[in-house]
């Protein structure tokens, strides 16, 4: 082997070594000359007065409605409530005490909506809003005029 033939391989070896060692050296230099992290100042956050709970309260009785076209509808509903634990407990007690009145009011609202709706799909779409207005009118007070945020139909059968 002549020196002319060994020179290109020696140059490639040195170039490869310099590429590896150079990148290592640059990485080391960058990591050694970093700036210290800036101090993070946390802004004071106002503590919430009370934690809000979000629950669905299933109404224990089904609602039976006969539409003007003699279609029988059976619906089960759940009420979406949002409030402090104390407010929700108070609301639950009021709902239990007034359950017969609430049942009658929901039946009346459902029957009025059945007579106002053209067909079953329209009735199903409009029923939650009618029940929501009625239940909030009965259970709301000055502190929480609308304790129920949503009425969910958990069962809806038409025969």
pLDDT tens figures, 7-16: 668 788 888 8
pLDDT digit string (tens) for 71-85? 999 999 999 998 888
**CB 64 within 8 Å of CB 110:** no
pTM: 0.65
- Angstrom CA distances, 39 to 45, 52, 61, stand at 18, 33, 59
CB atoms within 10 A of CB 93: 10
- On the question of pLDDT at 28 being above 80, the answer is no
Note the pLDDT of residue 4: 54
Helix residue ranges, H only, the chain: 3-32, 85-97, 99-116, 120-139
pLDDT averaged over the chain?
Answer: 86
Angle between helices 85-97 and 120-139 (to 10 degrees): 100
Each domain of the chain, given as residue ranges in start order, spans 53-158
53 pLDDT band, cuts 50/70/90, is confident
Tell me the CATH number for domain 53-158. Answer: 3.30.479
- Judged by DSSP in three states, 44 sits in coil
């Amino acid at each position: 082997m002549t020196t002319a033939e060994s020179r290109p391989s020696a140059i490639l070896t040195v170039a490869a070594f310099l590429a590896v060692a150079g990148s290592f050296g640059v990485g080391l230099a960058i990591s050694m000359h970093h700036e210290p992290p800036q101090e993070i100042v946390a802004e004071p956050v106002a503590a919430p007065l009370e934690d809000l709970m979000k629950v669905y309260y299933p109404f224990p009785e089904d609602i039976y409605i006969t539409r003007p076209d003699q279609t029988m509808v059976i619906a089960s509903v759940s009420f979406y409530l949002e409030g402090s634990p104390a407010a929700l407990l108070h609301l639950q007690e009021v709902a239990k005490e007034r359950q017969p009145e609430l049942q009658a009011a929901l039946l009346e609202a459902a029957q009025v909506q059945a007579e106002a709706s053209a067909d079953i799909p329209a009735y199903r779409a409009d029923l939650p809003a009618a029940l929501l207005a009625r239940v909030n009118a009965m259970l709301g007070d000055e502190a929480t005029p609308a304790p129920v945020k949503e009425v969910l139909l958990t069962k809806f059968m038409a025969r």
